């Protein structure tokens, strides 16, 4: 589901024209819409006078149920009023949740994200897609290397800036800790050094074993 509105926008050249802009985007059951967004095709305006292409900024409510992501995207120019935007976001978020069915409410146990500008939304989605590609590779590679796979809920992983899928050493207690994850990452990266997101995490963990709190690790679900 998505909602579009007709908005009047102005180009730097002075031309004012109308464009149809999406103000609510729900990509849960519409992966094509997410693709279009990542390719920069959504809310892109082309000035009829000078041909300049730019993102037409309007408020967008972005929802991806599969990725557990609800983003309140304000126009870039609102960045100077970040505190007010945040306040408004929480007020509207709880209002929206209150109208949900009980079963739906339970599914949304994560915080909304505040974003300024279409470009930042597109960058976030692009980065998450690249990470997802690496996660898929890791999920296949880990068992082949006799490693365990830890899976995290998308919102939890986003909150702590970690991948949704982490490798761990198999051990008798069946418990994973930061050093077990670090060792497993080393093995994975030896086989595939191109997993840049995992390389970064490995570096971070090598420098600081406490970078992955035990509480975070316990939030993961162990597979195999």
Residues near Zn ion (CB under 5 A) are 11, 13, 15, 47, 49-50, 52
18 versus 104: smaller Cβ distance to Zn ion: 18
| Minimal distance, residue 116 CB to Zn ion, in Å | 23
In angstroms and rounded to an integer, the radius of gyration of the C-alpha atoms of the chain is: 21
Q: How far apart are CA 125 and CA 162, in angstroms?
A: 15
| Minimal distance, residue 8 CB to Zn ion, in Å | 14
| Minimal distance, residue 45 CB to Zn ion, in Å | 9
| Minimal distance, residue 55 CB to Zn ion, in Å | 14
Contact status, residue 89 vs residue 114, Cβ threshold 8 Å: yes
| Minimal distance, residue 160 CB to Zn ion, in Å | 43
53-55/2-10 β-pairing: unpaired
Nearest CA among 114, 107, 113, 157 for reference residue 132: 157
Greatest extent of the chain over all pairs of C-alpha atoms, in Å:
69
19 versus 25: smaller Cβ distance to Zn ion: 19
46 versus 97: smaller Cβ distance to Zn ion: 46
| Minimal distance, residue 117 CB to Zn ion, in Å | 19
19 versus 47: smaller Cβ distance to Zn ion: 47
77 versus 171: smaller Cβ distance to Zn ion: 77
53 versus 91: smaller Cβ distance to Zn ion: 53
Burial of 153 (0-12, 13-18, 19+ CB in 10 A): middle
Distances (CA, A) of 17 to 11, 56, 79, 88, 114: 8, 11, 24, 29, 28
Torsion angle, alpha carbons of 20, 58, 121, 34, to 10: -20
């Amino acid at each position: 589901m998505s909602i579009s509105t007709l908005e009047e926008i102005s180009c730097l050249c002075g031309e004012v024209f109308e464009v149809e802009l999406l103000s609510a985007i729900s990509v849960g059951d519409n992966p094509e819409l997410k693709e279009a967004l990542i390719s920069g095709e959504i809310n892109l305006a082309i000035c009829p006078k000078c041909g300049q292409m730019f993102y037409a900024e309007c408020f967008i409510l972005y929802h991806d149920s599969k990725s557990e992501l609800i983003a309140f995207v304000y126009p870039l120019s609102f960045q100077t009023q970040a505190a007010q935007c945040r306040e408004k976001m929480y007020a509207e978020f709880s209002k929206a949740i209150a109208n949900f069915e009980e079963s739906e409410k339970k599914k949304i146990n994560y915080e909304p994200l505040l974003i300024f500008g279409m470009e930042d939304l597109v960058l976030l989605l692009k980065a998450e897609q690249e990470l997802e590609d690496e996660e898929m590779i890791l999920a296949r590679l880990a068992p082949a290397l006799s490693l365990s796979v830890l899976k995290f809920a998308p919102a939890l992983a986003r909150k702590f800036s970690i991948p949704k899928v982490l490798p761990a050493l198999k051990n008798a207690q069946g418990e994973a800790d930061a050093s077990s994850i670090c060792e497993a990452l080393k093995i994975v990266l030896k086989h595939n050094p191109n997993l840049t997101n995992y390389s970064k995490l490995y570096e971070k963990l090598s420098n600081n074993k406490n970078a992955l709190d035990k509480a975070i690790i316990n939030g993961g679900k162990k597979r195999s």
